[in-house]
Amino acid sequence: MSRVALVTGGAGGIGSAIVEALVRSGMRVAIADLDSAACVRMAESLGDARTTLGVELDVTSPVSVTAAVRAAEHGLGSIDVLVNCAGWDELRPFLETDEAFRARILEINLAGPLRVTHAVLGGMVERRFGRVIQIASDAGRVGSSLESVYAAAKGGLIAFAKSVAREVARSGVTSNSVCPGPTQTPLIEGMAAADERGRKIVDGLARAIPMGRMGLPADVAPAVAFLASDAAGFITGQTLSVSGGLTMA
């Protein structure tokens, strides 16, 4: 039987490219996102009820996470591959952030992925197979102006992925992070469109990329599909940047 994957944020820019790559690799894929209508549309366009499933998910809600994992497993079978891709950010100087903003960023980008990982990891360990991939960010490796809270969350996610990798290393489960650099999606387009400062930051990031262009979702997806594959079974605790050389480590 083919592997089953759950992709959070699966209706988004990078998430939908990851979903398509996993479907192409022969996996059955649950597409989970706040935008449940988009998930259902994607599932119907990519396969049938046995191969692709749209699931409503809010990673900030424990009840929603439990329900989404249950729905995915009921529809497609036990989850072998988890890709935590749901995320959100807004450019803001740290001194202009408040409790509510910081809590929201940490909840969506750090606590949420931990919650979804917790919901599926036990089953993976029991079945002695699993691939967990966190979509972090180069901001979490090297920092990023106006993204300090987001960078803290993504840096935390990278550390979490490494620590879990150690804990489950002998269970057939791998845990890795993929860090996109600036990538053309609704998220970054929204930042650039927000105001003059956002436009300047995004333009500056794009100019700093050695390969001379911003990333595309289709640049990120193959790296995730590889780490999700059976072939990547001896790779764990790693952090892979897909950023046209913006960060080299």
Ligand X SMILES: NC(=O)c1ccc[n+]([C@@H]2O[C@H](COP(=O)([O-])OP(=O)(O)OC[C@H]3O[C@@H](n4cnc5c(N)ncnc54)[C@H](O)[C@@H]3O)[C@@H](O)[C@H]2O)c1
Smallest distance from ligand X to CB 232, Å: 20
Contact status, residue 197 vs residue 170, Cβ threshold 8 Å: no
Is 46 a binder of ligand X (CB under 6 A)? no
- 124's CB contacts (< 8 A; 6+ apart) are 79, 80, 82, 130, 132, 168, 171, 172, 173
Q: How far apart are CA 145 and CA 187, in angstroms?
A: 16
Is 244 a binder of ligand X (CB under 6 A)? no
Q: Provide the sign of the torsion angle of the four alpha carbons 232, 133, 85, 9, taken in this order.
A: positive
Is 124 a binder of ligand X (CB under 6 A)? no
Is 14 a binder of ligand X (CB under 6 A)? yes
Q: Which residue minimizes CB distance to ligand X?
A: 12
CA distances from 224 to 14, 55, 62, 94, 174 (A): 10, 20, 25, 31, 13
Stretch that binds ligand X, among 20-28, 90-98, 141-149, 183-191 (CB under 6 A): 183-191
Is 188 a binder of ligand X (CB under 6 A)? yes
Is 221 a binder of ligand X (CB under 6 A)? no
- 97 classed as catalytic: no
Contacts to ligand X by CB under 6 A: 8-9, 11-15, 33-35, 57-60, 85-88, 108, 112, 135, 137, 180, 182-183, 185-188
